[in-house]
Amino acid sequence: MTIFQAGILQPVPAIGRYVFFSLTAAAQGDPALLRQSLQQLAALVDGERVVAAFGQDLVQALGAEVPGLRTFPELTGPGVKAPATPVALCLWLRGQDLGELLALTRRLEKALAPALKALRVVEAFRHGKGVSGHGLDLSGYEDGTENPQEAAAVAAAFASGLGEGLDGSSYLALQQWLHDFDAFEAMSEMAQDHCMGRRRSDNEELEDAPESAHVKRTAQEDFAPEAFVLRRSMPWALHTPSGDKAGLMFAAFGCSFYAFEAQMRRMLGQDDGIVDALFRFSAPITGAYLWCPPMRDGRLDLRALSLPAQA
């Protein structure tokens, strides 16, 4: 039996829901109430259909501490930024049927009340299939090509050597990116490929791509130490009175936040002043650091939060 939330390693599902929660005033003044809600949550989280991720605010409200967990830092670069929008809890619901996920959301909300309340929901989905078998971003480019595989994926995504209740956990950097499709469609096909550093038609990396190409900005082996993350991103969409809004829910699971932050700082041009060309048509509108507890005997292991395991 695995000690990590299995949904993190599995391919992205056909349908996903990111349900974000905030602490209620009652929970902020009553840690016992919060512990009770989290125990009820643990009974519903299997780590596969529901992946749970806790924010620093929630951990602090319990009077606990998770090594390496901190609040997302707002990062800036020349004319660009990665905003910080911390949340107490995010539940990533994974499935094939939206109706089932809606019903599951209600069960989870009831289990967490009155300590936590749903703040917002982002509807996500798998789009297409690239030549390497990964899903596509709404720009049409394959997402996750450079993901580590098998044992390397486990090493990149999950903590080890930290002790019981921590080993098998994962540190999640989660950003909602909003695409400007008018700006993207105004580019030539070559300019689009140069933004990404790959040909959309066959997913081949372009050796002559500019230094601002996304692939070159985020080449995981080019950092010291190397900065590998496990991407499990999903396209999202929302219809508003002013039109459709859509983009990518970027999810990077790591054994720490180092790899994501090293890549993000380079994308923002903090290393050398070169901003990732991705910002020509997309930008993050949210940013949060979260901690995904491990599993124990098929249940969410909350011992690191000073919550005892229950049979």
Task: Provide the whole-model pTM.
Answer: 0.96
What mean pLDDT value characterizes the chain? 95
Residue with token string 């619901």: 93
Confidence of residue 133 (pLDDT cuts 50, 70, 90): confident
Residue 306's pLDDT is 84
Report the Cα 150 to chain-centroid distance in Å.
19
Confidence of residue 309 (pLDDT cuts 50, 70, 90): low
Q: At what angle do helices 31-42 and 98-112 cross, to 10 degrees?
A: 150
Residue 29's pLDDT is 86
**pLDDT tops 90 at residue 310:** no
CA distances from residue 17 to 41, 85, 283 in whole angstroms, order as listed: 17, 18, 21
What three-state secondary structure class fits 297? coil
**Hey, where are the domains in the chain?**
6-304
What residues form DSSP beta bridges with 170?
A: 292
**pLDDT tops 50 at residue 169:** yes
**pLDDT tops 60 at residue 178:** yes
- As to burial, measured by CB atoms within 10 angstroms (0-12 exposed, 13-18 middle, 19+ buried), residue 183 is exposed
**pLDDT tops 50 at residue 311:** no
* DSSP string over 2-44: -SS-GGGTSPPPSEEEEEEEEE-HHHHT-HHHHHHHHHHHHTT
Residue 53 near residue 290, CB atoms below 8 Å = yes
What three-state secondary structure class fits 120? strand
* Tokens, residue 143: 């997402």
Contacts of 118 (CB under 8 A, 6+ apart): 19, 20, 21, 105, 109
| Segment 258-296, tens digit of pLDDT | 999 999 999 999 999 999 999 999 999 999 999 999 999
Helices (H), 178-311: 181-185, 189-196, 214-217, 258-267
* Percentage, residues of the chain above pLDDT 90: 94
Secondary structure of the chain: what % helix, strand, coil (to 5)? 25, 25, 45
* Tokens, residue 258: 């180092």
| Segment 45-55, tens digit of pLDDT | 999 999 999 99
Q: What is the mean pLDDT of residues 192-216?
A: 96
Q: What is the mean pLDDT of residues 231-249?
A: 95
**pLDDT tops 80 at residue 190:** yes
Of residues 85, 65, 84, 138, the one with CA closest to residue 291: 65
Residue 32's pLDDT is 94
